[in-house]
Chain A
Amino acid sequence: MTLVHNFPFFSILLCMAAGIFTSVLKQRAAKALTFAVVAAVLVLSALTLRLTLTLEDAYAFMMGHFPAPWGNEIRIGRLEALMATGFSAVMLISLIAGMWHTPTVVSEQKVNLYCIMIDLALAAVLVLIYTNDLFTVYVFIEIMTIASCALVVVRQNGHTLVAITRYMIMHLFASGLLLMGIAMLYGITGHLLMVPLHDAVAHIVQTGEHMGPLTVVIGLITAGLTIKSAMFPFHGWAPDTYAFAPPLSSAILSGIISKSYIFVLIKFFYRVIGMDVIVSQQITPFLFVCGVSGMIIGSILAISQRDIRRMIAYSSVAQIGYIYMGLGIGTDAGVEAALFQMLVHAAVKSLLFLSAYELINVSGDRKRFRYLHGAGYRNVPAGIVFTIAAMSMVGIPFTGGFIVKLNLAISGIAMGGWMRALVLIALALSTLLNSVYFLHTVVSIYRKPTQEMEYPQVQKTPPHVAAALFVSALFIIYLGVGSEPILRVIETGLRTFS
Chain B
Amino acid sequence: MSKRRSDWESRPQARIRKWYREGFLALDNEIIDHLTRTTPQPPYTEDRLVAQQEEMASRQHERTLALERLDQHNVLAWARTRGRKAISRFYVVLALALSALMIFFLLETVALMPRFGDPATPGANIVSERYITKGLEETGAVNIVAGMILDYRAFDTLGESTVLFIAASAVLILLRIDRNKDGSPVQELIAAESDDRHYEPRNDRILQGSAMILTPIILLYGIYIILNGHLSPGGGFSGGAIISAGLILYLSAFGFEKAGRFFTNKTFTWVSFFSLMFYALAKAYSFYCGANGIPSGIPLGTPGAILSSGLIMPLNIAVGMVVACTMYIFYALFRKGGL
User: Which positions in A face B, CB cutoff 8 Å?
Assistant: 1, 6, 9, 13, 16-17, 19-21, 23-24, 61-66, 69-72, 107, 109-110, 113-114, 116-117, 120, 123, 127, 133, 135-136, 139-140, 142-143, 146-147, 149-150, 153-154, 156, 180, 184, 186-191, 196, 200, 210, 212-213, 216
Contacts and interface: CB of A to CB of B under 8 A. Distances in A.
Contacts of B170: 113, 117, 146-147, 149-150, 153
B292 A6 contact: yes
Nearest to B177: A109
Contact of B273 (A21, A109, A212, A216): A21
B163 interface: yes
A487 B52 CA distance: 78
Given A66-B152, A71-B152, A212-B109, A117 B293 contact: no
B277 A17 contact: yes
Nearest to B178: A109
Interface string B103-129: 001101100111000000111111110
Interface of B: 105-106, 108-109, 112-114, 121-128, 130-131, 138, 151-156, 158-160, 162-163, 165-167, 169-170, 172-174, 176, 178, 269-270, 272-273, 276-277, 280-281, 284, 286-293, 296
Judged by DSSP, the binding face of B is helix
A16 B280 contact: yes
B152 A63 contact: no
Given A184-B113, A212-B109, A24 B172 contact: no
B289 A65 contact: yes
Contacts of B167: 146
B113 A187 contact: yes
A23 B169 contact: yes
A66 B105 contact: no
Contacts of B125: 190-191
Contacts of B174: 150, 153, 156
Judged by DSSP, the binding face of A is helix
Contacts of B176: 109-110
Contact of A213 (B112, B280, B290): B112
B165 A9 contact: no
Given A6-B291, A64-B291, A72-B153, 6 more contacts: A66-B290, A117-B169, A139-B163, A180-B106, A186-B123, A213-B113
Contacts, number: 173
Contacts of A196: 127
A136 B159 contact: yes
A61 B291 contact: yes
Contacts of B126: 69
9 closest cross-chain pairs (CB), A and B = A139-B159, A150-B170, A65-B290, A72-B155, A190-B122, A190-B123, A109-B178, A63-B155, A190-B125
B291 A63 contact: yes
A216 B162 contact: no
A187 B173 CA distance: 38
Nearest to A142: B163
Contacts of B296: 65
A153 B173 contact: yes
B155 A136 contact: yes
Contacts of A156: 174
B130 A70 contact: yes
A127 to B, nearest CB: 8
Contact of B112 (A20, A110, A116, A210): A210
Contact of A187 (B114, B280, B291): B114
B127 A188 contact: no
22 contacts: A9-B288, A9-B291, A17-B280, A21-B277, A24-B273, A64-B291, A65-B151, A110-B173, A113-B170, A113-B172, A127-B159, A139-B163, A142-B159, A143-B159, A146-B166, A146-B170, A186-B123, A190-B121, A190-B128, A196-B127, A212-B109, A216-B105
A216 B113 CA distance: 11
B131 A188 contact: no
Contacts of A147: 166, 170
A348 to B, nearest CB: 29
B268 to A, nearest CB: 9
A150 B121 contact: no
Contacts of A143: 159, 162-163, 166
Contact of A120 (B138, B162, B173): B162
B168 to A, nearest CB: 9
A248 to B, nearest CB: 15
B109 A136 contact: no
B108 to A, nearest CB: 8
A65 B312 CA distance: 14
Contacts of B284: 13, 17
Nearest to B289: A65
